[in-house]
């Protein structure tokens, strides 16, 4: 039964890679998950073994990156790669300022910047599949599908505090040993715009035709997956240069 | 089917007559109207649309003022607010209120819509205006991440009263959290002048805790799926249109109500106790029905309701799916002041409604409630006030003054003077039949209330001390002793 799950190989490794780019990462064993939307019914997606940061990338980690790569400092970044709000919570190019906890997750960061950071670390942004696979774990199961868990996720989303003051890794880790997948920030994925919600959720004839209104519940596998609706809708509203108060990232190693 | 026995020789001259009539009517309309088309109406000016929050509406459109470009700025705000006394909720709102600001434009106007998603918000949002002719009613064009602003424009082709709402997945949850409002597209000649206009929108709310349960309540997706709301309210909270928030009018005035229903699930049986709707724009469109008692407002629909108030008193607005009014909050009030007109009062108010509604003793199933222990007399009184406002005030009215002939007064009441157990028993066991209170006879029925001993002791203590009665303090044990 579930006891066997406890015997799973979960390993924390303190890795050092890149210059000053370090994180605790967690290995996830390959497995399947049912994505929120696919046209045919219960098509499962197979996810290979991968490693994921146990916590979101923090302000101090990102600070090391912009010090090593000045072109990503907020006064120097090209506007096509990051909109004006990029790192707007920092005091200046290389100082966080008193309002920002170094251990809080980096936010106000564009997809381009998150991708550049990941590359600098020799890593990558997770795919939507990887992220959702990691995020479907509750405390005890690799795939938490109980109503209690789903309700808890809605609570967590509503209670998020985007105050730049809450450090990563404070809550309880999930089954894999990963922290803060739901309660702290939204996170970039490499293919955030591949499963689009264009804005018209009910009748789009393209990729996203199932994502809105009543159409959404027809196409989605579990009509009660309100938490997933919220995540996919949020991703769908993004453009790669957006820098938002509640949007950061973590990296993976494939 | 039965064949019509009219030959063509009879019908042709008739048709010809109609044709002539049409020609004559056509000649009577002014030149500017002959070729006028809302789709091609020339824009002759530009204005910033005013932000006016419910229950008020922006000023009327001047008749035949011509088509204007209107710039509308609307901000989406996620915020904690009051759902009922002692109950808070995580609302998602347009303009920071439920419903969102009232939009008022004219047929032929071009709207440049700016939807702003506040940077502190956690979710993506958009807006679907039912008044828009175009894909998704603006939903796709207005899909906006937090900290961003979307701009789109549309031409108002069809006059009428329309709902707008958020249409981002999961749509039901966005609407259930309060994301709806009304947009009025006035016909180019405007609506007839009235004395007062108000904006009311019904919505159902689904909370993890039961009705009245204290503290911050969260959205319950199970209850929403089951379409089993804990709250059905006007303008976003219990009491938003009663007490100090009541609407006002003077005797002899004509009132126009813009009434919408955000849903997400329930259809409203909108009714005004003690009034008859003189005119209803059915479903917010062109068709006018007259002398309407209760008008059905679908979720995602609206109605324009007009009536003249002839006598002073209180016009009570309810969802006449009546448990929603008395147990879930769907209650509002228009206080009408002015001179009495006895002949109209006795001729027009249909008193039967109260008697039929209260004609049987209603006993709800026993429900376990979390006891709230109030210590001091002062605490008991303040806790009792919350119970009163949530459970008693709908009938017995603010200050316990009652409703003469219908709901007995609790203020300075002769009924339980010197014997508080009579008051306790009425609450816990219900009360029906003829009683006399302060010289007036009442023959009605009050259902037994589903309240804990603690809550009953608090509310009776409140009534004793605040409403000019004997004073004193009731204990939970005294309440328990009265339960049958």
Phi, psi angles (nearest 5°) of residue A151: -65, -40
Task: Give residues 212 to 251 of B whose Cβ lies within 8 Å of A.
Answer: 218-222, 225
Percent of chain A at pLDDT exceeding 70: 78
Q: What pLDDT sits at residue B34?
A: 61
Q: What pLDDT is attached to residue B156?
A: 96
Distance CA A129, CA B179 (A): 31
User: Shortest CB distance from B139 goes to which of A162, A200, A244?
Assistant: A200
The mean pLDDT of B341-345, rounded to a whole number, is 76
Q: What local confidence, expressed as pLDDT, does residue B351 receive?
A: 46
Q: Nearest CB to B167: which of A160, A202, A224?
A: A202
Q: Is the CB of B171 inside 8 Å of chain A's CB atoms?
A: yes
Is A183 in CB contact (< 8 Å) with chain B?
Answer: no
* Nearest Cβ partner for B122 among A157, A204, A238: A157
Which CA distances in Å does B145 have to A231, A236, B1, B295, B338? 12, 9, 59, 38, 51
b/e map B30-62, b = 16+ CB within 10 Å: eeeeeebebeebeeeeeeebebbebbebbebbe
Asked whether A25 and A15 are in contact (CB, 8 A), the reply is yes
Closest approach of chain A CAs to the CA of B266, in angstroms?
Answer: 16
Report how far residue A93's alpha carbon sits from residue A73's, in angstroms, rounded to the nearest whole number.
5
Q: Do B218 and A155 touch (CB under 8 A)?
A: yes
Q: Do B219 and A197 touch (CB under 8 A)?
A: no
Interchain proximity B225–A201, CB inside 8 Å? no
Question: What's the DSSP call for residue B388?
Answer: I
Mean pLDDT of B407-420: 89
Kindly report, residue by residue over A48-62, the tens digit of the pLDDT: 999 999 999 999 999
Residue A23 Cα distances to A18, A156, B46, angstroms: 11, 24, 56
Q: Among partner residues A85, A157, A213, which is closest to B147 by beta-carbon distance? A: A85
- Partner-chain contact A158 B124, CB within 8 Å: no
Residues 6+ apart with CB under 8 A from A110: A81, A82, A83, A86, A240, A241, A242, A243
Q: A243 contacts in B (CB within 8 Å)?
A: 147
Strand partners, B261: B202, B301
- Out of A39-43, B18-22, B23-27, B76-80, give the one with best mean pLDDT: B76-80
**Testing the interface with B: which of A156, A200, A219 to mutate, by most B Cβ within 10 A?**
A200
A238 Cα to chain B: minimum distance (Å): 6
Contact B123 A229 (CB under 8 A): no
**CB distance from A144 to chain B under 8 Å?**
no
pLDDT tens for residues B171-230? 999 999 999 999 999 999 999 999 999 999 999 999 999 998 889 999 998 899 899 999
Kindly indicate the confidence band of residue B348, based on its pLDDT and cuts at 50, 70 and 90: very low
Tell me if chain A has a CB within 8 Å of the CB of B118.
Answer: no
Q: Is A54 exposed, middle or buried (0-12, 13-18, 19+ CB in 10 A)?
A: buried
**What's the average model confidence in pLDDT over B401-418?**
87
The CA distance from B354 to B6, in Å, is 52
| pLDDT at position A42 | 61
Q: Give the whole-number percent of chain B exceeding pLDDT 90.
A: 63
Minimum mean pLDDT among A185-189, B248-252, B448-452: which range?
B448-452
Residues in A closer than 8 angstroms to B142, CB to CB, are: 199
Identify the pLDDT of residue A209: 39
Query: Residue A199: which of B120, B143, B222 has the nearest Cβ?
Result: B143
B206 vs A contacts (CB less than 8 Å): none
Greatest pairwise CA separation for chain B in angstroms: 91
| Most confident listed range (B13-17, B134-138, B356-360) | B134-138
Residues of A in contact with B123 (CB under 8 A): 157, 230, 233-234
Q: Which residue of A has its CA nearest to B143?
A: A199
Please report the pLDDT score of residue B375 as a whole number: 77
pTM comes to 0.74
Q: Do B139 and A199 touch (CB under 8 A)?
A: yes
Whether pLDDT at B460 is above 90: yes
The secondary structure of B263-310, three-state, reads: ECCCCEEEEEECCCEEEEEHHHCCCEEEEECEEEECCCEEEEEEEECC
User: A19 to chain B nearest CA, in Å?
Assistant: 33
Spell out which residues of chain B touch residue A151, defining contact as CB-CB under 8 Å: 208, 220-222
User: Which of B122, B148, B171 is closest, CB to CB, to A212?
Assistant: B171
Alpha-carbon distance B310 to nearest alpha carbon in chain A (angstroms): 45
Asked if B146's CB is within 8 angstroms of A245's CB, the reply is: yes
Residue range B386-392: mean pLDDT, rounded:
87
pLDDT band of residue B264 (cuts 50, 70, 90) is: very high
Does B72 touch chain A if contact means CB atoms closer than 8 Å?
Answer: no
Chain B residues near residue A204 by CB distance under 8 angstroms:
140
Max avg pLDDT among A33-37, A109-113, A141-145: A109-113
Inform me whether the C-beta atom of residue A60 falls under 8 Å from chain B C-beta atoms.
Answer: no
B145–A202 CB contact, under 8 Å: no
Enumerate residues 6+ apart whose C-beta is below 8 A from B386.
B85, B86, B214
Best mutation site among B170, B172, B177 for testing chain A: the one with the most A CBs within 10 Å? Answer: B170
pLDDT for A212: 41
User: How close A24 gets to chain B, by Cα (Å)?
Assistant: 27
Average pLDDT over residues B262-271: 97
Strands (E), A169-214: 186-187
């Amino acid at each position: 039964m579930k006891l066997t799950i406890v015997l799973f190989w979960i390993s924390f490794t303190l890795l050092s890679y890149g210059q000053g780019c370090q994180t605790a990462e967690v290995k996830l064993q390959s497995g399947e998950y049912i994505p929120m939307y696919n046209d045919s019914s219960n098509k499962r997606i197979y996810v290979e073994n991968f490693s994921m940061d146990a916590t979101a990338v923090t302000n101090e980690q990102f600070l090391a990156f912009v010090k090593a790569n000045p072109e990503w400092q907020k006064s120097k970044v090209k506007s096509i790669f990051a909109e004006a709000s990029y790192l707007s919570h920092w005091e200046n190019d290389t100082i966080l300022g008193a309002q920002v906890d170094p251990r809080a997750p980096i936010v106000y960061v564009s997809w381009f910047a998150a991708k550049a950071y990941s590359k600098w670390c020799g890593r990558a942004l997770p795919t939507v599949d990887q992220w959702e696979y990691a995020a479907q774990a509750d405390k005890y199961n690799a795939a938490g599908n109980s109503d209690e868990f789903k309700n808890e996720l809605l609570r967590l989303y509503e209670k998020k505090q985007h105050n730049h003051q809450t450090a990563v890794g404070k809550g309880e880790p999930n089954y894999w040993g990963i922290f803060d997948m739901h309660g702290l920030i939204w996170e970039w994925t490499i293919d955030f715009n591949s499963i689009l919600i264009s804005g018209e959720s009910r009748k789009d004839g393209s990729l996203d035709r199932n994502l809105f209104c009543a159409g959404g519940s027809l196409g989605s596998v579990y009509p009660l997956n309100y938490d997933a609706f919220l995540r996919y809708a949020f991703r769908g509203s993004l453009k790669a240069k957006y820098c938002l108060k509640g949007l950061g990232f973590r990296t993976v190693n494939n | 089917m039965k064949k019509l026995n009219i030959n063509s020789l009879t019908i042709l001259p008739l048709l010809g007559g109609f044709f002539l009539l049409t020609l004559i009517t056509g000649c009577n309309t002014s030149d500017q109207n002959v070729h006028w088309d809302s789709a091609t109406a020339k824009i002759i000016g530009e204005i910033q649309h005013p932000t006016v929050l419910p229950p008020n509406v922006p000023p009327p459109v001047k008749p035949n003022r011509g088509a204007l470009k209107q710039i509308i700025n609307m901000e989406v705000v996620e915020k904690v607010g009051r759902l009922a006394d002692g109950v808070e909720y995580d609302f998602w709102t347009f303009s920071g209120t439920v419903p969102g600001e009232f939009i008022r434009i004219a047929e032929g106007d071009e709207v440049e819509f700016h939807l702003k998603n506040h940077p502190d918000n956690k979710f993506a949002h958009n807006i679907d205006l039912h008044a828009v002719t175009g894909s998704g009613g603006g939903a796709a064009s207005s899909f906006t991440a937090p900290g961003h602003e979307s701009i789109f424009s549309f031409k108002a082709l069809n006059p009428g009263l329309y709902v707008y709402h958020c249409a981002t997945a999961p749509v039901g949850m966005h609407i259930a959290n309060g994301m709806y409002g009304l947009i009025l597209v006035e016909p180019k000649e405007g609506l007839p002048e009235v004395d007062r206009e108000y904006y009311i929108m019904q919505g159902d709310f689904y909370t993890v805790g039961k009705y009245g349960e204290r503290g911050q309540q969260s959205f319950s997706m199970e209850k929403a799926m089951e379409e089993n709301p804990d709250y059905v309210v006007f303008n976003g909270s219990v009491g938003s249109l009663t007490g100090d928030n009541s609407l006002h009018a003077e005797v002899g005035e004509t009132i126009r109500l813009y009434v919408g229903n955000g849903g997400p699930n329930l259809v409203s049986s909108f009714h005004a106790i003690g009034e008859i709707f003189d005119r209803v724009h059915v479903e917010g469109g062109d068709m006018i029905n007259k002398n309407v008692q209760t008008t059905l407002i679908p979720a995602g629909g609206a109605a324009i309701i007009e009536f003249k108030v002839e006598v002073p008193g209180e016009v009570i607005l309810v969802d006449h799916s009546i448990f929603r009014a008395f147990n879930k909050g769907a209650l509002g009030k228009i206080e009408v002041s002015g001179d009495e007109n006895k002949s109209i009062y006795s001729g027009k108010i249909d008193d039967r409604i109260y008697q039929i509604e209260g004609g049987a003793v209603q006993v709800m199933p026993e429900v376990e409630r979390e006891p709230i222990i109030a210590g001091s007399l002062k605490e008991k009184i303040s806790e009792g006030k919350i119970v009163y406002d949530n459970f008693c005030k709908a009938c017995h009215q603010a200050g316990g003054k009652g409703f003469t002939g219908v709901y007995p007064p609790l203020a300075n009441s002769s009924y339980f003077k010197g014997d508080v157990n009579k008051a306790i028993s009425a609450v816990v066991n219900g009360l029906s039949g003829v009683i006399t209170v302060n010289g007036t006879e009442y023959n009605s029925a009050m259902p037994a209330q589903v309240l804990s001993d603690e809550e009953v002791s608090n509310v009776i203590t409140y009534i004793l001390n605040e409403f000019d009665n004997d004073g004193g303090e009731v204990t939970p044990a005294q309440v328990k002793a009265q339960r049958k």
